[in-house]
Structure 1
Amino acid sequence: MNSMTGFGRAQIQTAASSIKVELSGVNRKQLEIAINIPRGYAEWEQSIRPVIQNAVSRGRVSVSVTVDRNPDSSENTMFLDETRLAGCMKTLDRASEVAGRDLPLTVSDLIRLEVMTTAQDAEESAEELWPLVEPTLREALDAFLSMRSVEGENLKKDLLEKLSNLENFRSQIADLAPSVPSRLRDSMVKRLEEAGLPVDLGDDRIIRELAVFADKCDVTEEITRLASHFSQFKALCDSSTPSGRPLDFLCQEIFREFNTIGSKANDATLAHLVVAAKTDLEKIREQVQNIE
């Protein structure tokens, strides 16, 4: 079992630059991948995305890649791209003619136009740097998945503890359920007698009505299904495959069974148990939302 929450970081240092990759994850119903890459290296995204998709099935994963140049590296010496500058100047001269006034260029303009670059920028392309980025990405991903696994184990422990409470509520309900029809029958007969309407319990019609009434109050099927749901819940907690969605579905089914028990039994004692069970179940559902 894995949590959808996690963080991983890895970094590699070269003579000319430092490459850092960070991954963070939060819960989502589907898989969402957000990738932040330095300008000029956009082609990395098509290589990064499948690496994440093969390792993660659900959640929002943010991937950040930064490339910081070493300020002491001789490869960071600024140089002028004369060919690009000549083209820019030609365009600027035409723009000046149209505007009817001089349009001077500043150093910041040259940088924005990428006329002034570094030797490292010119030499290290995205393709050349990728062999360094890929292992760094995978190292960060391993740390990210490890944290999700640890968090998942903590969630599993908490879920199983809360599930044990639900099993206890189910056990109490199973012990009380058989006596509910007889208690309700006695209560109904007593109310009729107090209203001056004595009931002959030997009357076949009364017997049939009481039998139908008892059948409507029977929650044996719901109790049996709860046991099955709890068993499946435990199996999913021990599964190595993503279990968030099926666990969420089981929570809905468990809620429905408890709700039906409360409606059918029409008994104050069982109603209190059902309310307590639904309260614990809601806590389980909140935790399940964080499971992959």
Structure 2
Amino acid sequence: MILSMTGFGRSEGVFEEKKITLDIKSLNSKSFDLNIKMPSRFKEKEFEIRKLLNDRILRGKVDCYINLEMLDNVTDVNINHELVQSYMAELKKVAGDGPDFEYLKMAVRMPDAISSKSEELTASEWQFLKTLIDKAIAKFDNFRRTEGEILKEELQRNINNIEKYLLAVEPYEQVRMDGVKERYRKSLHEFDQIDETRFYQEMAYYTEKLDIAEEKVRLSQHLKYYTEVMTEEDFNGKKLGFIGQEIGREINTLGSKANHAEIQKLVVMMKDDLEKIKEQTLNVL
């Protein structure tokens, strides 16, 4: 089964007048590369959040954003009124009389004048956040499956194209070998004496050297294997990449042995589809 490395999932909910929104998105990567942005309130659980995401997402360049919004004008900011007034009084002693507003602006910048409430993250809130993470990952997985189906159709289309071009090579094979033999025969006729035994030995050598039967068989096998792995195995992106490399080797050898204009054209079209396969395979989980 094909899963795309590109994914997106969002979940949100309200816990005790706090709205929590969680977004997960990913692009392709050779490994699991996670970037998390979250409020300081949840920092103590960063390791657990990373593990939850790593266990389920497996691979990709992943961004996770957790946003916290206080509802009904509830705020987690605490102003130390007594300390601010004390700062203002001391500033007046030093600077003399002046507008209270100016002293207030200076006082609120002083240490500990404004702070966040030190309410600890409760077990029930952490459980609520984990539930949101699970929901976001579930949507993320659905996105990957949908994208994977589109990828599979594109990959299969390109594999089918290469198979079609490979079958189109066959009509040119005998014509190609007959042309090679005729060229060698004409070249040898330019000499006064021809050793027929040597001629046929040379022809056997070049016939074997230019034979593409093995390359055709191996290429056909690799194409079938690619389809099998794509259809039957999970988390198959790296394996498909390796098979794609083997397909490329056989196509290149086919091209180097072709020695025929029409076969060369077919090889070029095979390479074009193979490049598309390589690009698409990079996005397979």
- Tell me the CA shift for residue 284 of structure 1: 1.4
3-state SS of the aligned residue for 2:140? helix
- Tell me the CA shift for residue 173 of structure 1: 2.0
3-state SS of the aligned residue for 1:3? coil
Kept after mapping to 2: 8 A contact 1:219/1:261: yes
Residue 24 of structure 1 is matched in structure 2 by 25
Kept after mapping to 2: 8 A contact 1:10/1:139: yes
* In 2, Cα distance between equivalents of 1:18 and 1:179: 74
What code does the residue aligned with 2:39 have?
Answer: P
* In 2, Cα distance between equivalents of 1:153 and 1:231: 19
Check if 1:197 corresponds to 2:191. Answer: yes
From 128, 135, 138, the counterpart of 1:139: 135
Residue 44 of structure 1 is matched in structure 2 by 45
Residue 227 of structure 1 is matched in structure 2 by 220
3-state SS of the aligned residue for 1:21? strand
Residue 185 of structure 1 is matched in structure 2 by 181
What code does the residue aligned with 1:250 have?
Answer: I
Question: 1:145-175 CA distances to partner (integer Å, 9 max, x unpaired)?
Answer: 1001100001001110111000011112244
Task: Flag the 1:274–1:198 CA change in 2: closer, same or farther, 3 A.
Answer: farther
From 114, 117, 141, the counterpart of 1:116: 114
Residue 249 of structure 1 is matched in structure 2 by 242
3-state SS of the aligned residue for 2:9? strand
Residue 285 of structure 1 is matched in structure 2 by 278
- Tell me the CA shift for residue 114 of structure 1: 5.6
TM-score (norm 2): 0.85
3-state SS of the aligned residue for 2:219? helix
Residue 159 of structure 1 is matched in structure 2 by 155
3-state SS of the aligned residue for 1:29? coil
Question: 1:128-161 CA distances to partner (integer Å, 9 max, x unpaired)?
Answer: 5211110001100100110011000010011101
Percent identity between matched residues is 28
Task: Flag the 1:191–1:101 CA change in 2: closer, same or farther, 3 A.
Answer: farther
* In 1, Cα distance between equivalents of 2:168 and 2:28: 35
Question: 1:229-275 CA distances to partner (integer Å, 9 max, x unpaired)?
Answer: 11111012113411111111222211111111111222222111101
Question: 1:86-107 CA distances to partner (integer Å, 9 max, x unpaired)?
Answer: 9x97xxx9xx9xxx989x6746
Kept after mapping to 2: 8 A contact 1:35/1:64: yes
- Tell me the CA shift for residue 191 of structure 1: 4.1
Kept after mapping to 2: 8 A contact 1:37/1:64: yes
Check if 1:274 corresponds to 2:270. Answer: no
Residue 169 of structure 1 is matched in structure 2 by 165
Task: Flag the 1:199–1:29 CA change in 2: closer, same or farther, 3 A.
Answer: farther
* In 1, Cα distance between equivalents of 2:61 and 2:108: 37
* In 2, Cα distance between equivalents of 1:199 and 1:171: 41
**C-alpha root-mean-square deviation of aligned residues, in Å?**
2.8
Residue 9 of structure 2 is matched in structure 1 by 8
Task: Flag the 1:198–1:33 CA change in 2: closer, same or farther, 3 A.
Answer: farther
Task: Flag the 1:184–1:3 CA change in 2: closer, same or farther, 3 A.
Answer: same
- Tell me the CA shift for residue 188 of structure 1: 2.4
